[in-house]
Amino acid sequence: MSDKAIQAFCDRKFGMFIHWGLYALPGGRHNGEIMNSIGEWFQSYFRMPNREYAKFAAQFNPVNFNADEWIRKAADAGMKYIVFTAKHHDGFSMYDTKVSDYNIVKMTPFGRDPLRELAAACEKYKIKLGIYYSHYLDWHEEDGGDPGREAGLNCNFMSWGNDWDFPDRSGKDFSRYFYGKVIPQVTELLTNYGEVCELWCDCPMDIRPEFSSALRDLVKKLQPDCMINARIGNGCNDFQGLGDNQLLHSKSPLPIESPGTLNNTWGFKYDDHDWKSTEQIIEQLVSLTEKNANYLLNVGPTALGEFPPETDRILRGIAEWIQGKEDAIYASQPTPFPQELDFAYCTRSGNRLNFFLRKTPPELILDGIRGRVVRADVEFRQEGERLFLKLPDLSGQTLPLVRLEFEGKPDVRQELMPQNGTLLLSPAAAEIMEGKEERKTAGIEIDEAAIVHEVTNHAKLDRDGTLCDWNNVSDKIEWEVFFPEKGDYALSAVTQTRWKNQPWDGDRSLVLHWNGQRAGVKELLPEENDPSPYFTRKLSPLGVLHIPEGGRGKLILESPEIRSENAGKINLNSIRINRI
C-alpha cells in the first residue's frame, strides 16, 4: 500500500456508513413480532426462506431517494467519505450487476442503480466513495459461507449462514460461490464506479486464507490505492478495525477505523428509538481523532430512501458544531501527550496544538510543555515547563476549541504525569509483567476433582487499548509515573464490559503500590455508573495515594483475588489519579 493512500486514509477522519437494502422495508417487524437485534439481519433472525424474502424486492420502491441530498448531508456534517452496502449478507445487490439477477435494477419497481447516483454525488461534493461487500456470508447462495453451528450464533440467536434454506452443509462448494459471484462482482464494483477509497468486507469467520488473498490480489490489481479493512480476514488488510461501536482508550500506532451506530442497528428499524445524543457522537469523533482513528458513522435509510428524522437532526447538529473547527480535525496529527487528558482531547496541526475542552474551569495548568507558545486563543503564561491557561466562560458549549500556536513543533515531555491535577493511566502505557503460571485463582475453593475452569489467563492488551482477559492473580501491571510535587491523590479504576448488555461480573480486588507503599484495596464493585452510549462503564474508587515528595516512581497494580471466572471479561480502561 502506498504511503500516499495511507496518509489520505488517515487525513479523512470521518465517514458515513450507509446500510441500505431490502431489510429496510420490514424495518425489523414481522407478523406482529419486533426484532430484537440489528435490522439488516432480518432474514436470519426470522429464518425467512429466500423465496419469501425476495418478495420484498417487488415492493422496494424508494421514490424519495436522492443521492445528492444524502451526500450533501454527509459533506455538511464534515464527512469525507462514505461506505455503501453494495451487497450485504442477504445477498441482494444494491447496484446494477450482470453477475446476479438478484439485484435492485432487475428485481424492483425502482429499477435505478443507487451506487451510480451516489458515486456521481460523491464526485460533486468531493467525497470519497467506499464500498461494503459481504464477501463470505451470502444467504441467497447455496454455496455462500456458513461456519456452521459450531461457530455459535450471532448475538446468541441468529445463524451465520443460511441453514434454513440450505440445512445440508456437506455439499457446499464455497469456491464456486466465491469465483462465481464475489470475484466478478468486486471486479464490477472496482471497474464501473470510478475511484473506490475503501473496500469494506465483513464477517470473515472461517474463510480460508487463499480466498482472502485472492480477493486482495484482485483489489490491488484493479485499484492499488483502495484500502482494505481487516474483516477481509487472514491479515490481508491495509488498515486495522475496531469492533462495532468500539472506541479507543489510547493512541493507535497504526491507521484504524471505528464503525459506529447512531442507535442500536445498522439497517433501518422502525422500533429502535435509542438514539445517541449529538454531543456523544461529537465526543466520539474527537476522541477517535486524537487517537489516530477514523470514525465511520452509520445511517440506516428507510425503504422510501430517506434518513430517519433523528438521523437528520444529529447530522445537522454535527454540521453546526464542526463549522470553524475543521482545521483541527482533518489531516491533524494525534495527541502528542502520552496519555488521554481528562479535561481535553488534543490534536496537532503543524506547530499548533488544538484542545477540545471536556472541562472548562477558569484555569488549566499543564506540565512538561517544552516549546514556547507564541499565540493562543486564550490568555496564557509559561513558567519553565509549566503552562497556565486562563479560560473565559465556555460553559454550555460542546467541546469548545482552544488553539495554541508554538514557535516550532510542540514538544511535550513523553512522561506519564498528572496534567491539571489528573492522570489517566492507560494499560497501553504500562508494562504487563506476567506472573508465574497459576493453576487456581485465590479465593475460590476448588474441589480438585471438579476443576471446571482453570483460570490462568494473563492480562493482555485489547485492540482498543484496554486490559482484558486478566485472570492470573500473580500478574503485575507497571507504570512509570512522574509526580512533579508532593500531595494526596485519589485513585480509582475505570472498567467496562466488552460488549453491550454483557452482565456485570467483575468480582475481583485491586491493589496499587507506589514505591513500596500499598495504596488501596478495593473490591471491583461498581459504585458509580458512567452513562456510556454502548458499553457499561464503571468507576470504582480504590483509596488514597500519598506522595511524600515529587519525583519518579513505579506504580504497580495487582489483583490478588479473582473470584469470578468472568472477571477477565471486564476490561480495565484506566486507573484515574486525581489530586485532592
Please give the residue ranges that form the binding site for ligand GLC (CB under 6 A). Answer: 38, 40-41, 202-203, 244, 259, 266
In the 8-state DSSP scheme, what is residue 508? B
Q: Which is nearer to ligand GLC, 43 or 420 (CB)?
A: 43
Q: Which is nearer to ligand GLC, 178 or 266 (CB)?
A: 266
Does residue 462 sit in helix, strand or coil?
coil
Rounded to a whole number of angstroms, the minimum distance from the CB of residue 34 to ligand GLC is: 18
At which residue does the C-alpha cell 440506516 appear? 300
d(CA 318, CA 74): 10
- Angle, alpha carbons 518-520-524 (nearest 5°): 140
Q: Which is nearer to ligand GLC, 209 or 243 (CB)?
A: 243
Q: Which is nearer to ligand GLC, 229 or 559 (CB)?
A: 229
Does residue 79 sit in helix, strand or coil?
coil
Rounded to a whole number of angstroms, the minimum distance from the CB of residue 159 to ligand GLC is: 12
Q: Which is nearer to ligand GLC, 132 or 514 (CB)?
A: 132
Rounded to a whole number of angstroms, the minimum distance from the CB of residue 186 to ligand GLC is: 17
Rounded to a whole number of angstroms, the minimum distance from the CB of residue 17 to ligand GLC is: 7
Q: Cα-flanking dihedrals φ and ψ of residue 233, to 5°?
A: 90, 160
Rounded to a whole number of angstroms, the minimum distance from the CB of residue 15 to ligand GLC is: 12
Question: Parallel, antiparallel, or unpaired: how do β-strands 431-433 and 422-425 relate?
Answer: unpaired
Q: Which is nearer to ligand GLC, 131 or 399 (CB)?
A: 131
Single-letter amino acid code for the residue at 44: S
d(CA 64, CA 67): 10
Q: Which is nearer to ligand GLC, 259 or 371 (CB)?
A: 259
Does residue 293 sit in helix, strand or coil?
strand
Name, in order, each residue with C-beta under 8 angstroms of 343's C-beta and a sequence gap of 6 or more: 357, 358, 359, 361, 364, 419, 420, 422
Single-letter amino acid code for the residue at 35: M
Rounded to a whole number of angstroms, the minimum distance from the CB of residue 244 to ligand GLC is: 5
Single-letter amino acid code for the residue at 250: S
Q: Which is nearer to ligand GLC, 182 or 402 (CB)?
A: 182
- Residue 272: C-alpha distances to residues 37, 82, 214, 310 (Å): 10, 23, 38, 11
d(CA 349, CA 314): 27
Single-letter amino acid code for the residue at 568: G
Q: Which is nearer to ligand GLC, 50 or 265 (CB)?
A: 265
Q: Which is nearer to ligand GLC, 41 or 535 (CB)?
A: 41
Rounded to a whole number of angstroms, the minimum distance from the CB of residue 359 to ligand GLC is: 32
- Residue 314: C-alpha distances to residues 3, 184, 298, 413, 489 (Å): 34, 38, 12, 38, 39
Strands (E), 358-483: 363-366, 373-376, 379-383, 386-390, 401-406, 422-425, 431-433, 460-461, 467-468, 476-483
d(CA 258, CA 272): 21
Residues paired with residue 557 on neighbouring β-strands, in sequence order:
477, 512
Rounded to a whole number of angstroms, the minimum distance from the CB of residue 104 to ligand GLC is: 18
Q: Which of 329, 343, 338, 342 is nearest to 286 (CA)?
A: 329
d(CA 369, CA 407): 12
Rounded to a whole number of angstroms, the minimum distance from the CB of residue 381 to ligand GLC is: 47
Rounded to a whole number of angstroms, the minimum distance from the CB of residue 267 to ligand GLC is: 7
Rounded to a whole number of angstroms, the minimum distance from the CB of residue 20 to ligand GLC is: 11
The residue number whose beta carbon is nearest to ligand GLC equals: 259
Integer-rounded Cα Rg, in Å, for the chain is: 25
Rounded to a whole number of angstroms, the minimum distance from the CB of residue 77 to ligand GLC is: 19
Does residue 495 sit in helix, strand or coil?
strand
Q: Which is nearer to ligand GLC, 40 or 290 (CB)?
A: 40
Rounded to a whole number of angstroms, the minimum distance from the CB of residue 254 to ligand GLC is: 19
Q: Cα-flanking dihedrals φ and ψ of residue 20, to 5°?
A: -140, 130
In the 8-state DSSP scheme, what is residue 369? B
Q: Is 403 left (phi over 0), alpha (psi -120 to 50) or beta?
A: beta
Q: Which is nearer to ligand GLC, 259 or 533 (CB)?
A: 259
**Diameter of the chain by CA atoms?**
76
Q: Which is nearer to ligand GLC, 244 or 405 (CB)?
A: 244
